[in-house]
A and B are shown apart, each in its own frame.
Chain A
């Protein structure tokens, strides 16, 4: 991406954020709870929105500045750590688990796809189970996995792996099969080994498919880590724990939960962007990418 392209993307993002805030607060100005301000002299001013919409009440949708304020306030009474600091720490913790799960899931997915592309028997025998594995609700499975692996980080990473390997397997299989048949014939004419065909032709041909899957898998790995953490035996740290805790405190402080949701979203976006940057770097020399 050129410098101009980056600048445009940043501008677009800022524009998007501003638009969301305007719609958010606009809706509250029309149908929310009464707004209380203090003017310069300390006098309280109350603004009464004309309508009453439950969905934009202060409990359902806190003011943007309340979320902002909660981020700067201490995470608990009598603690020096602010909510923002706490959430950054939680996001790093969760991000590490998700990254481990992502890498493990990507490797597992690739190995399975490589197996399937070389053995139709293995493909026929195992692909249905790979698909079936994803029909089990992760909410039911996560506690079992976390418990089975001794209530710690390992179990959480495995939950993330579990959500990650599926899109990678399916896309890698399609990608590894996407090689130009004439190119395969060329490799045969050169008496290339299966190993050479895999690394010099099949794998490079599969990269555009793989990166598409990595983008899905990257965000799925975060979901997996968060769901894994949010188990009784899961974790005392991380975004999953934060989301559960703030969920319990929702009635007294909805802004905290919104802040934690925001942190989860930002973590997901940063994972996605990391993959997109890697993709642009790896595929920059290809015609298909240039043409876009």
Chain B
């Protein structure tokens, strides 16, 4: 923890991007916790998230990073109302997460593209528009525009299985953007792609983010990816997931292949890595007995 702060160079607070989040809060998590109760008798009660406080400002690109099982996907799913909090509150656009979902305030991209193989790429992108009841001509035009945005304009008539993995994921992003959401929730969207494709997709995602002005919450395993993309990187500790550190990324807003060779970039990668390691050490050496931990937490709460 101490090491992470020593490397965090933003104590000066003069950075314009770091100040931006305070403008308008899109996602506001306060004391959010999640406990998975065992279904059957004898199942372990798993505390996935504990006491998460996080405010995401409009236009931010937030990465959630942490070891497997730290609950970062769960956190994303809580924001998307795909699961509920056990304690604490979630507000999205100033409403409950459920209302935000019903108002279709966010678009979601999963690790797998989850395209329907009986639909063409164009009609996959139209799906949310169909569900919302957008008239045919309008939704066709919108889907075409979204496909152009992700540079898949020529592939609208193809079926998903005729596309490469990277192209499928771009189609999934186009689908998520079809309803012009304020917020894009991305759960390891490039996790299944090879390194080369992933780096290209990172650049394309930044382009889309810039063009649409959408707020992004992005779950990833990859430190370089998180640093390269984000305005802030949220570092989480293992079970129960807590926010250890938030690392503001003060790289120039315009990023390209050269960004990855900047000294500042390497320094930030190191900062995040050390924050991760510090979080993993998290007050106890060796594996924690989950039952014992739950008992302790139970007393505390």
> Knowing A189-B80, A200-B131, A201-B116 touch, does A182 contact B110 (C-beta < 8 A)?
yes
Any chain A CB within 8 A of the CB of B159? Answer: yes
Interface string of A179-218 (1 = CB under 8 A from B): 0101101111111110010001100100100000000000
Note all chain B residues with C-beta closer than 8 A to A193.
Answer: 131
> Knowing A190-B128, A200-B131 touch, does A285 contact B116 (C-beta < 8 A)?
no
With the chains together, A156 CA to B107 CA distance in Å? Answer: 53
* A side interface size, CB within 8 A: 22
Other-chain contact of B114, A180, A191, A204, A207 (Cβ < 8 Å):
A180
Note all chain A residues with C-beta closer than 8 A to B106.
Answer: 189
Q: Interface size bucket, B side?
A: 20 to 34
A191 touches B118 (CB 8 A): no
B161 touches A190 (CB 8 A): no
With the chains together, A193 CA to B131 CA distance in Å? Answer: 8
Note all chain A residues with C-beta closer than 8 A to B107.
Answer: 189
CB distance from A281 to the nearest CB of B (A): 13
A204 touches B116 (CB 8 A): yes
> Knowing A185-B82, A191-B101 touch, does A287 contact B114 (C-beta < 8 A)?
no
A287 touches B110 (CB 8 A): no
Is the contact region of chain A dominated by helix, strand, or loop, or is it mixed? helix
> Knowing A201-B116, A287-B117, A287-B159 touch, does A186 contact B110 (C-beta < 8 A)?
yes
With the chains together, A44 CA to B112 CA distance in Å? Answer: 78
With the chains together, A182 CA to B159 CA distance in Å? Answer: 19
Note all chain A residues with C-beta closer than 8 A to B80.
Answer: 189
Note all chain A residues with C-beta closer than 8 A to B30.
Answer: none
Note all chain B residues with C-beta closer than 8 A to A285.
Answer: 117-118, 159
With the chains together, A187 CA to B5 CA distance in Å? Answer: 41
Other-chain contact of A183, B82, B114, B130, B179 (Cβ < 8 Å):
B114
Note all chain B residues with C-beta closer than 8 A to A124.
Answer: none
Any chain B CB within 8 A of the CB of A77? Answer: no
With the chains together, A288 CA to B118 CA distance in Å? Answer: 10
Any chain B CB within 8 A of the CB of A36? Answer: no
Using a CB–CB cutoff of 8 Å, the interface residues on chain B facing chain A are 80, 82, 101-104, 106-108, 110, 112, 114, 116-118, 127-128, 130-132, 159-161, 179
* 9 pairs, A vs B, C-beta closer than 8 Å: A185-B110, A186-B108, A190-B131, A193-B131, A196-B130, A204-B116, A286-B118, A287-B159, A287-B160
